[in-house]
Amino acid sequence: MSGWAPKSPKARRRLYLIAAIAPVLALAVGLTLWGLSDSISFFYTPSQAAQAKPPAGRSIQLGGLVQPGSVSKHPDGRVDFVVADQLAAMKVHYSGDLPDLFREGQGIVATGAFREDGEFQAKQVLAKHDERYMPREVSKALKEQGEWRGEGAPPPSYQTGAANP
């Protein structure tokens, strides 16, 4: 018997049991985190995404205000629009039906990934459900940028690449 092991047989059994369970538990936690890594989705505003430059294909959420005049609907069901914040704007491509409440100048959150060409391909688009609601991530990001104008305020007008006066 070595000097590091407890002298009590009961304490030694506990130590050996913990030594056997710990690696199995660590392996289970590691495999779980590795398996969930594809389902983790980070939230970015357009200016944050421009700074962070997430790699193409990584699932993220892009949130901001739909830029007025930017929505382009195609006959095959594709929709292109621009999501903007005070500092940047990003073009979004989406195939499918948009939510009934999708409007220009209102907050949305699009889940998807950037393509190799730098444009965002959305798999899902979520829109606010009434005049007082904006997705929490979008309102928080707008407040941090100093653009939040309170509930019911008219949406700001955007010019691509220019901040509001």
Model pTM score: 0.60
Q: What's the pLDDT tens digit per position in 105-119? A: 888 999 999 999 989
32 and 63 inside one domain: no
Q: What's the pLDDT tens digit per position in 27-86? A: 999 998 888 776 676 888 899 988 888 888 888 899 988 999 999 999 998 999 999 988
In the block, residue with structure tokens 């209102």: 106
The pLDDT, as a whole number, for residue 161 is: 45
Q: Are 42 and 48 in contact (CB under 8 A)?
A: no
Beta strand ranges found along 115-161 (DSSP E): 120-127
The pLDDT, as a whole number, for residue 160 is: 46
Residue 87 resides in a domain: yes
pLDDT at 132 over 60: no
Q: Which helix (DSSP H) or strand (DSSP E) does residue 13 occupy?
A: helix 9-36
25 and 48 inside one domain: no
Average pLDDT estimate for 125-136: 67
79 and 130 inside one domain: yes
47 and 122 inside one domain: yes
Residue 52 resides in a domain: yes
Residue 50 resides in a domain: yes
Residue 154: how many CA atoms within 13 Å on its side-chain side? 4
Q: Which backbone phi and psi does 20 adopt, to 5 degrees? A: -80, -35
Q: Which domain holds residue 62?
A: 42-144
Residue 95 resides in a domain: yes
The pLDDT, as a whole number, for residue 95 is: 92
